[in-house]
């Protein structure tokens, strides 16, 4: 005898109804029973429990439906007088088994009744049966008929109870099916929301990578700026060196001009001593003196310009050094930003992988929920069919009521 066949009918209906209902309540109960349970684990446990509950409910419903179908067939054959053509339903430990046992006793009583009728007929034909014997046979036949009638009355009562229980189970399972459909719709919304999250994270990841590329480009510009600033420092140093060299050359020119002026004065003195013969030389000496004075003035101006250029070159070098220091700071900050952006990009990529995995798991849960909804609808249809079979069995049993 199988496990489903060993259960009573009403407890079996209770199991078929309570298991899916209790499984449907798991999303509300588990967070209180297991604090900190994740959404993925919650839906996986709920989906697995609901699937197992629906499988058990289907097994129980199919077992009852098959048993009642066979019981109805046996009752029809008994009513038609063809019960000997096929065996009665297999032995069971529930009400269906009791009905089958009653049918078996009815069939046995029918066989005894037929045998008694044949004996009575033969006795009447032979004329060798006294009246007390006929009375005993009649009493025996009446007892067998009453037993058969009582058996069918019990069959009708139990079939009515089964029909009511099947109707209640059908209503409850229909509610479970509605709940499974609602869960499927909720999971559809969750799948859509997770899909939007995946797309949003992908966009953020792409934007982060683009920002990382821009940071790298900025870092390249900063490095290039540092190189250019270093070259500017070298140019400024060269300008300063050249300015100092020009200053030394200008100083030498000034000294030469001073000496030339002195020589011009001496030449003018000597020309004055020479009298008329030295007048031409005196004019030349005077012009040379003027040139010497002009050279001294030009050298002085050049020295001032060179000194100003040297000062500006020194200031430029100092400013360039500050800019180089600032560029070093910018390059360091850019490098830090690049590392941070890279870390954010890696985290977003990792998060995207997790979201994709969650999306896949939620999709699997949605598939399980859809199957559970379909199974609930199938259980409902089976319960309706079982209720009809029980009603048919009850009506068949009423045919054996006493007029």
Task: Write out pLDDT tens, residues 211-245.
Answer: 777 777 777 777 777 777 777 777 777 877 777 78
Task: Write out pLDDT tens, residues 162-188.
Answer: 666 666 666 666 666 666 677 667 667
Whether residue 123 is predicted with pLDDT greater than 70 in this model: the reply is: no
Which single residue is written with the structure tokens 């065996």?
87
Whether residue 300 is predicted with pLDDT greater than 60 in this model: the reply is: yes
pLDDT range class, residue 294, cuts 50, 70, 90? confident
What tokens does 215 get? 């940071």
Find the range with the poorest average confidence among 28-32, 47-51, 122-126: 122-126
Boundary-marking domain end, from 351, 370, 387: 351
245 in the same domain as 168: no
Q: How far apart are CA 183 and CA 189, in angstroms?
A: 10
What tokens does 311 get? 């000062």
Total-model pTM: 0.43
- State the chain's mean pLDDT as an integer: 68
pLDDT range class, residue 200, cuts 50, 70, 90? confident
What tokens does 376 get? 């609930």
75 in the same domain as 42: yes
Task: Write out pLDDT tens, residues 318-327.
Answer: 777 777 777 7
368 in the same domain as 336: no
Average pLDDT rounded to a whole number, residues 327-332: 76
Of 84-93, 149-158, 195-204, highest mean pLDDT: 195-204
In this prediction, residue 349 carries a pLDDT of: 75
Average pLDDT rounded to a whole number, residues 127-152: 56
231 in the same domain as 165: no
300 in the same domain as 242: yes
**Residue 92 to residues 12, 103, 201, 315: CA-CA distances in angstroms?**
13, 13, 60, 110
The C-alpha torsion from 345 through 347 and 353 to 359, rounded to 10°, is: -110
Boundary-marking domain end, from 351, 369, 384: 351
Q: Whole domain around residue 307: which residue ranges?
A: 206-351
In this prediction, residue 134 carries a pLDDT of: 47
195 in the same domain as 95: yes
Helices (H), 37-130: 39-80, 95-126
146 in the same domain as 179: yes
Q: Within a domain: residue 270? A: yes
In this prediction, residue 6 carries a pLDDT of: 44
Task: Write out pLDDT tens, residues 346-391.
Answer: 777 777 777 777 767 667 666 766 766 676 677 677 667 766 766 7
**Segment holding 146, helix H or strand E:** helix 131-274
Whether residue 288 is predicted with pLDDT greater than 70 in this model: the reply is: yes
> Nearest 5°: phi and psi at 39?
-65, -40
Q: How far apart are CA 57 and CA 65, in angstroms?
A: 12
Q: Within a domain: residue 145? A: yes
In this prediction, residue 154 carries a pLDDT of: 66
Q: Within a domain: residue 62? A: yes
279 in the same domain as 130: no
Three-state DSSP class for 127? coil
Total number of domains in the chain? 2
Task: Write out pLDDT tens, residues 14-45.
Answer: 565 556 656 655 665 666 677 776 666 766 67
Q: How far apart are CA 245 and CA 38, in angstroms?
A: 80
Q: Within a domain: residue 356? A: no
Q: Within a domain: residue 403? A: no
Which single residue is written with the structure tokens 């297991």?
34
What tokens does 182 get? 């609602």
277 in the same domain as 247: yes
What is the CATH classification number for the domain harbouring 260? 1.10.287.950
In this prediction, residue 168 carries a pLDDT of: 65
Q: Within a domain: residue 365? A: yes
Higher pLDDT: 294 or 134? It is 294
Q: Within a domain: residue 200? A: yes
pLDDT range class, residue 4, cuts 50, 70, 90? very low
Q: How far apart are CA 24 and CA 369, in angstroms?
A: 10
98 in the same domain as 49: yes
Neighbours of 173 (CB within 10 A): 28
290 in the same domain as 179: no
Whether residue 7 is predicted with pLDDT greater than 50 in this model: the reply is: no
pLDDT range class, residue 189, cuts 50, 70, 90? confident
108 in the same domain as 20: yes
pLDDT range class, residue 131, cuts 50, 70, 90? very low
């Amino acid at each position: 005898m199988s496990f489903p066949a060993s259960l009573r009918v009403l407890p079996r209906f209770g199991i078929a109804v309570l298991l899916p209902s209790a499984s449907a309540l798991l999303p509300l109960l588990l967070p209180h029973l297991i604090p900190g349970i994740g959404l993925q684990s919650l839906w996986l446990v709920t989906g697995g429990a609901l699937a197992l509950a629906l499988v058990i409910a289907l097994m129980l419903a199919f077992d009852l439906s098959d048993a009642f179908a066979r019981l109805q067939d046996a009752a029809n054959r008994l009513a038609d007088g063809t019960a000997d053509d096929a065996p009665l339903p297999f032995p069971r430990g529930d009400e269906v088994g009791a009905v089958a046992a009653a049918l078996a006793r009815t069939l046995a009583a029918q066989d005894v009744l037929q045998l008694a009728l044949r004996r009575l007929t033969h006795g009447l034909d032979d004329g060798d049966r006294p009246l007390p014997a006929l009375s005993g046979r009649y009493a025996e036949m009446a007892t067998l008929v009453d037993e058969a009638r009582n058996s069918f009355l019990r069959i009708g009562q139990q079939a009515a109870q089964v029909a009511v229980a099947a109707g209640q189970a059908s209503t409850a399972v229909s509610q479970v099916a509605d709940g499974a459909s609602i869960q499927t719709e909720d999971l559809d919304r969750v799948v859509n929301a997770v899909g939007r999250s995946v797309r949003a994270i992908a966009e953020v990841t792409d934007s982060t990578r683009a920002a990382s590329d821009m940071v790298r480009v900025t870092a390249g510009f900063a490095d290039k700026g540092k190189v250019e600033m270093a070259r500017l420092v070298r140019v400024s140093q060269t300008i300063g060196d050249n300015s100092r060299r020009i200053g030394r050359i200008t100083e030498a020119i000034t000294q030469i001009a001073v000496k030339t002026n002195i020589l011009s004065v001496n030449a003018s003195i000597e020309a004055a001593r020479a009298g008329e013969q030295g007048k031409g030389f005196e004019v030349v000496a005077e012009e040379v003196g003027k040139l010497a004075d002009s050279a001294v003035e030009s050298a002085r101006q050049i020295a001032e310009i060179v000194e100003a250029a040297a000062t500006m070159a020194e200031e430029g070098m100092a400013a360039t050094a500050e800019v180089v220091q600032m560029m070093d700071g910018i390059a360091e900050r850019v490098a830090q930003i690049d590392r941070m952006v890279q870390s954010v990009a890696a985290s977003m990529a990792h998060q995207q992988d997790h979201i994709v995995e969650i999306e896949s798991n939620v999709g699997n849960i949605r598939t399980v929920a859809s199957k559970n909804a379909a199974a609930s609808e199938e259980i409902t249809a089976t319960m309706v069919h079982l209720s009809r079979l029980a009603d048919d069995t009850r009506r068949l049993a009423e045919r054996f009521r006493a007029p």
